[in-house]
Amino acid sequence: MKLYLDTSTPETILRLDQKEYRLPLGNQLAEQLLSVIHQKLSEHHATWTDLTEITFMAGPGSFTGLRIGAAVVNTLTDQLKIPLYKSTREQVPIILPDYGRPANITPPKK
């Protein structure tokens, strides 16, 4: 089973084979993403090990959304030993998000 994931906007797009889900996870993305993927797999009578590949929309888009999505797909493909593709279908060892501009990371305030 193929998984496609796009977390670049507040509405997460998740596709399992040909079935697409548009999920308004917004600022709940980090808390809910894995459980939502698991729930949708269950609806297809599938488990994590039924995934055969993952394609990820690597950007440009939301800095936080891309970081969360990249962490999830990198972890899943590493643990499941399955291929990972950018939305261009180019196989890569890990996803490096494209934010469309330089990351604006400020030093922590102490």
Q: What's the CA gap between 94 and 85, in Å, rounded? A: 9
Question: pLDDT value at position 48?
Answer: 98
Which amino acid, one-letter code, is at 83? Answer: P
Computed from CA positions of residues 37, 72, 52, 96, in that sequence, does the dihedral angle turn out positive or negative? positive
Contact 17, 1 (CB under 8 A): yes
| Predicted confidence pLDDT, tens digits, the chain (110 residues) | 999 999 998 999 999 998 999 999 989 999 999 999 999 999 999 999 999 999 999 888 889 999 999 999 999 999 999 999 988 556 677 777 777 888 777 887 87
Instruction: Out of 3.30.420.40, 2.40.128.20, 3.20.20.70, 3.40.50.300, select the CATH number for domain 2-86.
Output: 3.30.420.40
* pLDDT tens by residue, 53-71: 999 998 888 899 999 999 9
- CA 28, 84, 20, 7: dihedral to nearest 10 degrees? 30
